[in-house]
């Protein structure tokens, strides 16, 4: 039997890295306050956080947690 290993790419996001925006803002995983998060979301095109949010429908967004943390670290100079 010939088995082929599927290469894993560390740059490919998994579904577990995404969380609904409203749940992330209230979770303990969110490193900023609710009002700071809302401001970051509303200003995402100007402040560089656009890559951290994925539009699902007209009013529904997902947060890609690693991208959000990366953007936040870049903003803070870390």
What range defines the domain where residue 38 resides?
15-76
Could you please report the per-residue DSSP string of 14-75? Answer: PGGGEEEHHHHHHSTT--S-HHHHHHHHHTHHHHT-GGGEEEEETTEEEEEHHHHHHHHHHH
Report if residue 43 sits inside a domain.
yes
How many distinct structural domains can be found in the chain? 1
Report if residue 61 sits inside a domain.
yes
Report if residue 9 sits inside a domain.
no
For the entire predicted model, the pTM comes to 0.77
Report if residue 7 sits inside a domain.
no
- 17-63 pLDDT per residue, tens: 999 999 999 998 899 999 999 999 999 999 999 999 999 999 999 99
């Amino acid at each position: 039997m010939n088995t082929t290993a599927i290469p894993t790419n560390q740059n490919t996001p998994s579904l577990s890295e995404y969380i609904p925006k409203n749940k992330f803002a209230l979770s303990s995983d969110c490193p900023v306050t609710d009002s700071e998060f809302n401001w970051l979301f509303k200003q995402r095109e100007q402040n560089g956080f656009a890559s951290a949010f994925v539009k699902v429908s007209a009013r529904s967004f997902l947060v890609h947690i690693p991208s959000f943390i990366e953007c936040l670290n870049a903003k803070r100079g870390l």
